[in-house]
Structure 1
Amino acid sequence: MSRRHETGPGGAWRHHSLTIVFGLLLLLFVVGQAVAGTAEYNETARTDGVQQISFARYVSSSSFLVDLVENWQSEYLQFTLYILLTIWLVQRGSSESKKPGETGRESDEEQLVGRFARPDSPRWAQVGGWRRAVYSHSLVIAMTVVFVLSWLAQAVTGRVAESEQRMRDLLDPVSFGDYLVSPDFWSRTLQNWQSEMLAIASMAVFAIYLRERGSPESKPVGMPHDVTTADD
């Protein structure tokens, strides 16, 4: 049996180890965030003289959920913009970029669609019409949907958390519309967005001059700085 068709734990690890490791790291960090968040919440509760809560109650609270999804939405915004902008914009010498002069959507032949599709190409890449159009943009569509949903989740949970805090201060709860234009919502949103833009920009520039041997995110160690890809 070929390696391509291997099954079982060994085959799963060999072919999907990157996803498995990042999935486990995600779970570890979420649990860590929940543990630290519970401790912080209860420390504030003791200071304010209000009731402390259990770990289970904290992970289902708006305080935990708003902190969780506000990071998710910024990450998916980052990747959505990155995927779209790298169609037309370049950074000479960066492994994160196309070569200068090769911008745009590319031809059907380059994209292996329609009559240029391979026998093992995805079915929707071989056919025409709306199915190929949707599949041609399916990555950005998926990223955008997750971004919008997590951004809305941040707005909903943030509004609940803000209202709970206001009620503890004997103030009226805030409406959803008022929260969408509130400093708290945009402070949470923009501080995440700016950090993602910084990360993407620095990665594109660092990849011109710095290397990590063996990583697909890096050029070969000996490649000149001003060469964008190995095909230059």
Structure 2
Amino acid sequence: MSGVRRFVRENSLSLGFGLLFLLSLAGQALAGAAQMNEDRQAEGLEPVSLVQYLTSSSFAVDVMENWQSEYLQFALYVFATVWLVQRGSPESKELHAVGTESDEEQRVGSHAREDSPPWVRAGGWRTTLFSRSLGLLFGGLFLLTWAASSVAGWAAYNVEQLQSHADPVSWVAYLGEADFWNRTFQNWQSEMLAVGSMAVFAVYLRQRGSPESKPVGASHHDTGATG
């Protein structure tokens, strides 16, 4: 097997979803531009180019709202599954493993193996930071995308304000507007529903060969098992 083919095979999950992401983003851009131009035509305004739409606050707020809700989902899931469990779900740890677990269970410090990441064996602040790096990354990405979506939403809101001959508002004032929180909770609730549904449905349903599912023949009560 050639180096390229091997790389593609061994990274097919990330490459596949990366391609689907780009295709979906392109589809959103084309559909969003078409919708904007339909609205502008109905209002007797000149159409905008695709580039103009891609640099508009309308496109930015739609993208950032979705990104921040997704990163919120993963950040909460990473942190919540440390302490919360769901009996029978492969999305949960085993019931007895609630908490951060011991150094031996986590292969930290003197319990690290030869193939463990260097910062695991280093000890001190580096091991502490690395042991929480996934949650910190997703939490940080959520905060960044939340800030970006609030700025983009603020810009889009003020465009509408000016079009209706109303006064624009400051960013801080926009954070108290119903428009902002309607957009925000609309995305958040869907993510919470999706995560909760996955945790519960995976107790009773199976997908052969998927690590997100228990083995087909596993008991409904088996927790933390993946197939």
Which amino acid is the alignment partner of residue 120 of structure 1? D
Q: How many Å apart are 1:229 and its aligned residue?
A: 3.6
Which amino acid is the alignment partner of residue 150 of structure 1? T
Is 2:154–2:174's contact at 8 Å kept on the other side of the alignment?
yes
2-structure distance, mates of 1:58, 1:148: 25
Q: 1:178 to 1:229 in 2, by over 3 A?
A: closer
Q: 1:225 to 1:125 in 2, by over 3 A?
A: same
Gaps of 5+ in 2: none
Residue 69 (structure 2) aligned to one of 60, 68, 74: 74
Q: How many Å apart are 1:178 and its aligned residue?
A: 1.2
What do the CA deviations read for 1:10-57 (whole angstroms, capped 9, x no partner)? 121121100000000000000000000001101111111222200011
Is 2:91–2:224's contact at 8 Å kept on the other side of the alignment?
no
Q: How many Å apart are 1:8 and its aligned residue?
A: 2.9
What do the CA deviations read for 1:91-127 (whole angstroms, capped 9, x no partner)? 1000101111211101111111111111111111111
Q: Which residue of 2 aligns with 1:53?
A: 48
2-structure distance, mates of 1:47, 1:29: 27
For the pair 1:202 / 2:197, whether they are aligned, the reply is yes
Q: 1:24 to 1:173 in 2, by over 3 A?
A: same
Moved over 3 A (4+): none
Q: Which residue of 1 aligns with 2:96?
A: 101
Q: Which residue of 1 aligns with 2:122?
A: 127
Secondary structure, aligned partner of 2:157: helix
Residue 16 (structure 1) aligned to one of 5, 11, 14: 11
2-structure distance, mates of 1:165, 1:108: 55
Q: Which residue of 2 aligns with 1:111?
A: 106
Q: How many Å apart are 1:139 and its aligned residue?
A: 0.3
2-structure distance, mates of 1:230, 1:166: 53
2-structure distance, mates of 1:145, 1:85: 16
Residue 41 (structure 1) aligned to one of 36, 39, 43: 36
Q: How many residue pairs get matched?
A: 226
Normalised TM-score (structure 2)? 0.96
Q: 1:50 to 1:155 in 2, by over 3 A?
A: same
Gaps of 5+ in 1: 1-5
Normalised TM-score (structure 1)? 0.94
- Percent identity at matched positions? 54
Secondary structure, aligned partner of 1:101: helix
For the pair 1:87 / 2:92, whether they are aligned, the reply is no
Is 2:90–2:225's contact at 8 Å kept on the other side of the alignment?
no
What do the CA deviations read for 1:63-103 (whole angstroms, capped 9, x no partner)? 00100010000011011111111111111000101111211
